Protein backbone atom coordinates (compact mmCIF):
# COMPACT_ATOMS: atom_id res chain seq x y z
CA UNK A 1 0.00 0.00 0.00
CA UNK A 2 1.41 3.38 -0.94
CA UNK A 3 0.61 6.56 0.91
CA UNK A 4 0.76 9.99 -0.74
CA UNK A 5 -0.01 13.49 0.49
CA UNK A 6 -0.91 16.91 -0.90
CA UNK A 7 -1.08 20.13 1.14
CA UNK A 8 -4.48 21.82 0.86
CA UNK A 9 -5.68 24.74 2.96
CA UNK A 10 -3.12 24.09 5.66
CA UNK A 11 -3.82 20.35 5.88
CA UNK A 12 -2.44 17.27 4.21
CA UNK A 13 -4.35 14.86 2.02
CA UNK A 14 -2.69 11.48 1.78
CA UNK A 15 -3.39 8.34 -0.19
CA UNK A 16 -2.62 4.75 0.59
CA UNK A 17 -2.63 1.87 -1.86
CA UNK A 18 -2.17 -1.90 -1.79
CA UNK A 19 1.45 -3.16 -2.00
CA UNK A 20 4.14 -3.99 0.59
CA UNK A 21 6.09 -2.62 3.62
CA UNK A 22 4.86 -2.24 7.17
CA UNK A 23 3.30 1.00 8.31
CA UNK A 24 2.29 1.18 11.98
CA UNK A 25 1.53 -1.12 14.86
CA UNK A 26 -1.86 -2.77 14.67
CA UNK A 27 -4.35 -1.83 17.36
CA UNK A 28 -6.82 -4.01 19.23
CA UNK A 29 -9.77 -2.06 17.80
CA UNK A 30 -12.14 -4.17 15.71
CA UNK A 31 -13.06 -2.38 12.49
CA UNK A 32 -16.40 -3.32 10.93
CA UNK A 33 -15.41 -1.83 7.57
CA UNK A 34 -12.43 -2.55 5.34
CA UNK A 35 -11.13 -1.52 1.94
CA UNK A 36 -11.80 -5.10 0.75
CA UNK A 37 -15.57 -4.61 0.92
CA UNK A 38 -17.41 -4.29 -2.43
CA UNK A 39 -17.30 -0.79 -3.94
CA UNK A 40 -20.00 1.38 -2.36
CA UNK A 41 -20.27 -0.56 0.91
CA UNK A 42 -18.15 1.82 2.99
CA UNK A 43 -19.69 5.01 1.60
CA UNK A 44 -23.26 3.79 2.04
CA UNK A 45 -22.62 3.10 5.74
CA UNK A 46 -21.19 6.60 6.12
CA UNK A 47 -24.45 8.06 4.80
CA UNK A 48 -26.39 6.28 7.56
CA UNK A 49 -24.58 8.43 10.13
CA UNK A 50 -26.50 11.48 8.92
CA UNK A 51 -25.14 15.00 8.76
CA UNK A 52 -24.43 17.11 5.65
CA UNK A 53 -23.33 14.18 3.49
CA UNK A 54 -26.32 13.00 1.38
CA UNK A 55 -26.70 15.01 -1.81
CA UNK A 56 -23.41 16.91 -1.41
CA UNK A 57 -21.15 16.99 -4.49
CA UNK A 58 -17.60 16.91 -3.10
CA UNK A 59 -15.09 18.39 -5.59
CA UNK A 60 -12.47 15.80 -6.59
CA UNK A 61 -9.39 16.36 -8.74
CA UNK A 62 -8.54 13.26 -10.81
CA UNK A 63 -4.79 13.34 -11.37
CA UNK A 64 -2.77 11.21 -13.80
CA UNK A 65 0.59 11.34 -15.64
CA UNK A 66 1.03 14.04 -18.33
CA UNK A 67 -0.83 13.25 -21.52
CA UNK A 68 -3.20 10.77 -19.92
CA UNK A 69 -6.87 11.35 -20.78
CA UNK A 70 -9.89 10.77 -18.55
CA UNK A 71 -13.54 10.02 -19.38
CA UNK A 72 -16.44 9.87 -16.92
CA UNK A 73 -19.40 7.52 -17.05
CA UNK A 74 -22.88 8.66 -18.08
CA UNK A 75 -26.05 6.57 -18.54
CA UNK A 76 -25.22 6.32 -22.26
CA UNK A 77 -21.52 5.47 -21.91
CA UNK A 78 -18.41 7.55 -21.35
CA UNK A 79 -17.81 11.22 -22.07
CA UNK A 80 -15.26 12.43 -24.59
CA UNK A 81 -11.79 12.01 -23.05
CA UNK A 82 -10.02 15.11 -21.73
CA UNK A 83 -6.47 15.44 -20.50
CA UNK A 84 -5.90 15.10 -16.75
CA UNK A 85 -6.16 16.69 -14.27
CA UNK A 86 -9.97 16.82 -14.22
CA UNK A 87 -12.07 18.35 -11.43
CA UNK A 88 -15.58 17.01 -10.86
CA UNK A 89 -18.13 16.98 -8.05
CA UNK A 90 -18.96 13.46 -6.82
CA UNK A 91 -21.67 12.30 -4.42
CA UNK A 92 -20.77 10.69 -1.10
CA UNK A 93 -21.46 6.95 -1.02
CA UNK A 94 -21.79 6.43 -4.79
CA UNK A 95 -19.30 4.55 -6.98
CA UNK A 96 -17.98 6.27 -10.10
CA UNK A 97 -16.42 4.35 -12.97
CA UNK A 98 -13.93 6.32 -15.07
CA UNK A 99 -11.95 5.45 -18.18
CA UNK A 100 -8.24 6.24 -18.50
CA UNK A 101 -6.58 6.24 -21.93
CA UNK A 102 -3.35 7.43 -23.60
CA UNK A 103 -1.24 5.80 -20.90
CA UNK A 104 2.45 6.61 -21.56
CA UNK A 105 4.93 3.89 -22.47
CA UNK A 106 5.21 1.85 -25.68
CA UNK A 107 3.71 -1.34 -24.15
CA UNK A 108 0.62 0.66 -23.09
CA UNK A 109 -0.33 2.07 -26.52
CA UNK A 110 -4.05 1.64 -27.11
CA UNK A 111 -4.71 0.15 -23.68
CA UNK A 112 -7.52 1.37 -21.42
CA UNK A 113 -7.99 1.14 -17.65
CA UNK A 114 -11.32 1.54 -15.84
CA UNK A 115 -10.79 2.53 -12.17
CA UNK A 116 -13.53 3.34 -9.67
CA UNK A 117 -13.73 6.16 -7.13
CA UNK A 118 -15.87 5.92 -3.98
CA UNK A 119 -16.17 8.98 -1.73
CA UNK A 120 -16.69 8.18 1.95
CA UNK A 121 -16.50 11.70 3.42
CA UNK A 122 -16.27 15.37 2.51
CA UNK A 123 -14.27 18.51 3.24
CA UNK A 124 -15.71 21.62 4.92
CA UNK A 125 -14.17 24.70 3.23
CA UNK A 126 -15.54 28.24 3.62
CA UNK A 127 -18.95 28.56 1.90
CA UNK A 128 -18.53 29.39 -1.77
CA UNK A 129 -14.96 28.10 -1.95
CA UNK A 130 -15.73 24.40 -2.25
CA UNK A 131 -14.27 24.16 -5.76
CA UNK A 132 -10.97 25.67 -4.60
CA UNK A 133 -10.15 22.68 -2.41
CA UNK A 134 -10.85 19.40 -4.23
CA UNK A 135 -9.85 16.02 -2.85
CA UNK A 136 -6.93 14.82 -5.00
CA UNK A 137 -7.21 11.25 -6.30
CA UNK A 138 -4.04 10.37 -8.17
CA UNK A 139 -3.50 7.47 -10.55
CA UNK A 140 0.27 7.15 -10.92
CA UNK A 141 1.90 5.33 -13.81
CA UNK A 142 2.82 2.49 -11.44
CA UNK A 143 -0.86 2.12 -10.51
CA UNK A 144 -1.95 1.94 -14.15
CA UNK A 145 0.76 -0.51 -15.20
CA UNK A 146 0.04 -2.72 -12.19
CA UNK A 147 -3.61 -2.84 -13.23
CA UNK A 148 -2.68 -3.63 -16.84
CA UNK A 149 -0.63 -6.58 -15.57
CA UNK A 150 -3.79 -8.03 -14.00
CA UNK A 151 -3.39 -6.91 -10.37
CA UNK A 152 -5.65 -4.74 -8.23
CA UNK A 153 -4.46 -1.51 -6.62
CA UNK A 154 -6.47 0.05 -3.77
CA UNK A 155 -5.69 3.66 -2.87
CA UNK A 156 -7.28 5.16 0.26
CA UNK A 157 -7.20 8.96 0.38
CA UNK A 158 -7.42 10.53 3.82
CA UNK A 159 -7.26 13.91 5.50
CA UNK A 160 -4.19 13.80 7.71
CA UNK A 161 -4.39 14.72 11.38
CA UNK A 162 -2.68 18.16 11.55
CA UNK A 163 -1.17 17.30 14.95
CA UNK A 164 0.65 14.35 13.37
CA UNK A 165 1.35 15.79 9.93
CA UNK A 166 4.73 14.98 8.43
CA UNK A 167 7.04 18.04 8.21
CA UNK A 168 7.63 17.57 4.48
CA UNK A 169 7.42 20.24 1.77
CA UNK A 170 4.60 19.64 -0.72
CA UNK A 171 4.35 20.27 -4.46
CA UNK A 172 1.00 20.48 -6.30
CA UNK A 173 2.14 17.98 -8.96
CA UNK A 174 3.25 15.22 -6.59
CA UNK A 175 1.27 13.29 -4.00
CA UNK A 176 3.33 11.70 -1.25
CA UNK A 177 2.61 8.06 -0.54
CA UNK A 178 3.77 5.09 1.46
CA UNK A 179 3.06 1.40 1.13
CA UNK A 180 0.98 -0.62 3.58
CA UNK A 181 1.74 -4.28 4.25
CA UNK A 182 -0.53 -6.64 2.26
CA UNK A 183 -1.82 -8.13 5.54
CA UNK A 184 -2.89 -4.68 6.77
CA UNK A 185 -6.10 -2.92 5.81
CA UNK A 186 -5.41 0.46 4.13
CA UNK A 187 -8.73 1.84 5.37
CA UNK A 188 -7.81 1.02 8.96
CA UNK A 189 -4.35 2.54 8.46
CA UNK A 190 -5.89 5.71 7.03
CA UNK A 191 -8.32 5.88 9.97
CA UNK A 192 -5.42 5.77 12.43
CA UNK A 193 -3.62 8.57 10.59
CA UNK A 194 -6.57 10.86 9.92
CA UNK A 195 -10.00 10.89 8.29
CA UNK A 196 -10.59 8.62 5.26
CA UNK A 197 -12.03 10.57 2.33
CA UNK A 198 -12.09 8.31 -0.73
CA UNK A 199 -11.26 4.82 -1.95
CA UNK A 200 -9.89 4.45 -5.48
CA UNK A 201 -9.60 0.98 -6.99
CA UNK A 202 -7.80 0.30 -10.26
CA UNK A 203 -7.68 -3.19 -11.73
CA UNK A 204 -7.82 -5.04 -15.04
CA UNK A 205 -11.61 -5.37 -15.38
CA UNK A 206 -12.92 -4.35 -18.82
CA UNK A 207 -16.46 -3.76 -20.14
CA UNK A 208 -18.18 -6.43 -22.23
CA UNK A 209 -17.68 -6.52 -25.98
CA UNK A 210 -21.14 -4.96 -26.40
CA UNK A 211 -20.07 -1.97 -24.32
CA UNK A 212 -20.38 -0.98 -20.65
CA UNK A 213 -23.69 -1.88 -19.04
CA UNK A 214 -25.35 -0.35 -15.97
CA UNK A 215 -23.72 -2.86 -13.64
CA UNK A 216 -20.23 -2.07 -14.94
CA UNK A 217 -20.94 1.67 -14.56
CA UNK A 218 -22.50 1.22 -11.09
CA UNK A 219 -25.62 2.92 -12.39
CA UNK A 220 -23.65 5.93 -13.71
CA UNK A 221 -24.50 8.24 -10.79
CA UNK A 222 -24.72 11.99 -11.50
CA UNK A 223 -21.65 14.20 -11.22
CA UNK A 224 -20.86 17.90 -11.62
CA UNK A 225 -18.36 19.49 -13.99
CA UNK A 226 -16.17 21.99 -12.12
CA UNK A 227 -13.68 24.39 -13.76
CA UNK A 228 -10.17 23.65 -12.52
CA UNK A 229 -8.71 26.26 -10.14
CA UNK A 230 -5.51 27.83 -11.49
CA UNK A 231 -4.88 30.15 -8.54
CA UNK A 232 -1.50 30.05 -6.83
CA UNK A 233 -0.95 28.11 -3.57
CA UNK A 234 -0.85 31.43 -1.65
CA UNK A 235 -4.24 32.37 -3.09
CA UNK A 236 -5.57 28.95 -2.12
CA UNK A 237 -4.35 29.15 1.45
CA UNK A 238 -4.84 32.80 2.36
CA UNK A 239 -7.90 34.33 0.62
CA UNK A 240 -9.75 35.03 3.87
CA UNK A 241 -6.75 35.63 6.13
CA UNK A 242 -5.43 38.36 3.82
CA UNK A 243 -8.83 39.95 3.31
CA UNK A 244 -8.87 39.33 -0.45
CA UNK A 245 -11.96 38.27 -2.36
CA UNK A 246 -11.13 35.51 -4.82
CA UNK A 247 -13.94 34.98 -7.36
CA UNK A 248 -16.02 31.96 -6.46
CA UNK A 249 -15.90 29.15 -9.00
CA UNK A 250 -19.33 28.32 -10.47
CA UNK A 251 -20.46 24.70 -10.36
CA UNK A 252 -22.37 23.52 -13.45
CA UNK A 253 -24.58 20.40 -13.47
CA UNK A 254 -23.25 17.70 -15.82
CA UNK A 255 -26.00 15.11 -15.68
CA UNK A 256 -29.04 14.75 -17.98
CA UNK A 257 -32.26 16.53 -17.10
CA UNK A 258 -34.57 14.41 -15.00
CA UNK A 259 -31.86 12.73 -12.93
CA UNK A 260 -32.29 13.46 -9.24
CA UNK A 261 -29.23 15.51 -8.13
CA UNK A 262 -29.56 13.91 -4.71
CA UNK A 263 -28.45 10.65 -6.31
CA UNK A 264 -31.65 8.71 -5.59
- Is the confidence at residue 87, as pLDDT, over 90? yes
Encode pLDDT of 15-60 as tens digits.
433 332 233 334 444 456 667 777 877 888 888 887 889 999 999 9
Q: How confident is the model at residue 171 (pLDDT cuts 50, 70, 90)?
A: low
**% of the chain beyond a pLDDT of 70:** 67
Question: Which whole number is the average pLDDT over 170-175?
Answer: 64
- Of residues 189, 66, 199, the one with CA closest to residue 120: 199
For residue 248, the model assigns a pLDDT of 43
Whether the pLDDT of residue 132 is over 70: the answer is yes
* Strands (E) located in 54-193: 57-63, 69-74, 77-78, 82-83, 86-91, 95-101, 116-119, 135-138, 153-160, 177-180
Cβ-Cβ contacts under 8 Å for 231 (sequence gap 6 or more): 132, 246
Give the pLDDT confidence of 189-217 residue by residue, as tens digits. 887 888 899 999 999 899 988 889 999 99
Helix residue spans in the chain (DSSP H): 41-48, 141-148, 186-193, 233-237
**CA distances for 231 relative to 138, 224, 241, angstroms:** 20, 20, 16
Tell me the Cα Rg of the chain: 18
For 95-131, how does the pLDDT look when each residue is reduced to its tens digit (9 = 90+)?
999 999 999 998 898 999 999 999 999 999 988 888 8
Task: Provide φ and ψ at 135, rounded to 5°.
Answer: -80, 120
Residue-wise DSSP of 165-228: ------BTTB--EEEE-TTS-HHHHHHHHEEEEEEEEE-S---BTTB--TTTTTT---EEE-PP
Amino acid sequence: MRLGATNLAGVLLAASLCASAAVAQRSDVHYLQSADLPPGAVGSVQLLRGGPLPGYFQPVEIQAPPGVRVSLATPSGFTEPVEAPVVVGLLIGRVYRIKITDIPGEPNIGLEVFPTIELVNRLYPPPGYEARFPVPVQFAIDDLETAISGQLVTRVVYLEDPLNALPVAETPETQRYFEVHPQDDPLEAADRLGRPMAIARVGSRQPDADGPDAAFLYGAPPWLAIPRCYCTPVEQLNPIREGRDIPRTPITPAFPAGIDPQGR
